Amino acid sequence: MLEPRNKVEAKTVGSAIQYFFTITIMFSLVLHCSREKDYQAAWYVMGSRLSVEARGVDLKLDTVIAEVERLDAIFSNYRTDSEVARFNQAPRLQDIPLSEDFFFVLSAAQSIAHKTGGAFDVTVEPLVKLYDFYKPWKGENHSPPSSIEIQNARLNVGYKHLSLNWGERSAQKRKSIRLDFGAIAKGYALDKALAQLRTQKLSAAALDFGGQILVFQKEKLIQIENPRAEGNSSEYCATLSNGSISTSGDSQRYYTVNGQRYGHIIDPRTGIPAREIVQATLIQNTAMEADAWSTALVVMTAKELKKLTTANLHWIEVDVEGKLHQHASGTIRRCND
């Protein structure tokens, strides 16, 4: 039996419409790709160089620096008008209202502090100030604080002295603690910078903030240097297409005391600069977590690192003797593999 003509015509029209939309979509994709351009920019902000490489259509990179400068006004310990400066001046046993960004980063920091047994702790500011590590030391001779001074500073250090009120988005200090977001705020700024780009017609991006790298849909080879090896040789490499890699250690900011290196990363639990691990490189999905965890890994002892059971951590560390220890399955590999 022949199919009625109107049904045949309906199928023909339907096929034509489907074909038309398919061609239109393909043409739009080709047009979009043909309009894509490469964009580059760099700035000096938060005490470090921030560079951006991006590909997309009509990207506005000035939104990146505007966002990072906005966050600098919240988290900077070098500004007297920042939100963290106001928090540090606030009296204890009082509810302190916090901005959305401040509360988010502080709550993340408290979570990591709990997971690391206090190896990561943003209440470390009194110790950082006591050791004079807000200056850009590059190995000069300097006198460290006395044991009594360290003991007194530690009285106001400890993440357990801080409580958060999620309903009110506020915090309360049970002691006169002071915060330093130096080991987490730059990572958060990277995440927010990428988020700004992703609101636009972005195809791929790579951001480098003082050596911490965040990539989105863009394959990038990163070489990991051993600061204790001659010529800082790169024995290990990592290839990223999405995510962040962060390195923390004592090679960039330290001073010398009787021939011994005092790095700027301090163990909040002892008040002494980290000694066993001189560098740690870590990969995470977000730059904020990579930033914080790489610092925590430097502070933690070798014994603590062996017991670390937190999932999804891929890292490599360099001990005080310059030996590398890998804790990653394929993510970080030898460069010649």
Which of the two residues, 27 and 65, has the higher pLDDT score?
A: 65
Does 153 reside within a domain?
A: yes
Q: Quick one: DSSP state of residue 32?
A: H
Does 136 reside within a domain?
A: yes
Q: Which of 250, 332, 331, 307 is nearest to 116 (CA)?
A: 307
Does 32 reside within a domain?
A: no
Annotate 104-140 with b (16+ C-beta within 10 A) or e (fewer).
ebbebbbebbebbebbbbbbbbbbbebbebeeebeee
* Residues 10-44: tens digit of each pLDDT: 445 455 556 555 555 544 444 445 589 999 999 99
Average pLDDT of the residues in 167-192: 97
Give the pLDDT band (50/70/90) at residue 329. Answer: low
Give the pLDDT band (50/70/90) at residue 229. Answer: confident
Which of the two residues, 301 and 46, has the higher pLDDT score?
A: 46
95, 173, 207 from 91: Cα distances, Å: 9, 8, 38
Position 1 pLDDT exceeds 80? no
* CA angle 40–246–103, rounded 5-degree value: 90
Does 229 reside within a domain?
A: yes
How large is the angle between the packed helices 100-115 and 287-299, nearest 10 degrees?
Answer: 40
Percent of the chain with pLDDT over 90: 72
How large is the angle between the packed helices 62-75 and 185-198, nearest 10 degrees?
Answer: 150
The predicted pLDDT at position 30 comes to 47
Does 2 reside within a domain?
A: no
Q: Which domain holds residue 183?
A: 38-334
The predicted pLDDT at position 34 comes to 57
The neighbouring-strand residues paired with 44 are: 49
Position 59 pLDDT exceeds 70? yes
- Estimate to the nearest angstrom the gap between the alpha carbon of 94 and the chain centroid: 30
8, 80, 139, 288, 303 from 72: Cα distances, Å: 66, 12, 27, 15, 36
Total of domains in the chain = 1
* Residues 69-105: tens digit of each pLDDT: 999 999 999 999 999 999 999 999 999 999 999 999 9
| CATH code: domain of residue 319 | 3.10.520.10
Q: Among 16-25, 192-201, 211-220, name the one with the lowest average pLDDT.
A: 16-25
* Residues 258-268: tens digit of each pLDDT: 989 999 999 99
Position 227 pLDDT exceeds 70? yes
The predicted pLDDT at position 304 comes to 86
Does 60 reside within a domain?
A: yes
Instruction: Give the H or E element holding residue 295.
Output: helix 287-299
The predicted pLDDT at position 21 comes to 53
The predicted pLDDT at position 232 comes to 61
Position 49 pLDDT exceeds 90? yes
* Residues 99-125: tens digit of each pLDDT: 999 999 999 999 999 999 999 999 999
Average pLDDT of the residues in 46-68: 97
Give the pLDDT band (50/70/90) at residue 216. Answer: very high
Q: State the chain's mean pLDDT as an integer.
A: 89
Q: Among 33-37, 132-136, 198-202, 298-302, name the one with the lowest average pLDDT.
A: 33-37
90 Cβ contact list (under 8 Å, min separation 6): 96, 173
Percent of the chain with pLDDT over 70: 87
Does 23 reside within a domain?
A: no
Does 316 reside within a domain?
A: yes
3, 43, 44, 198 from 195: Cα distances, Å: 55, 18, 20, 5
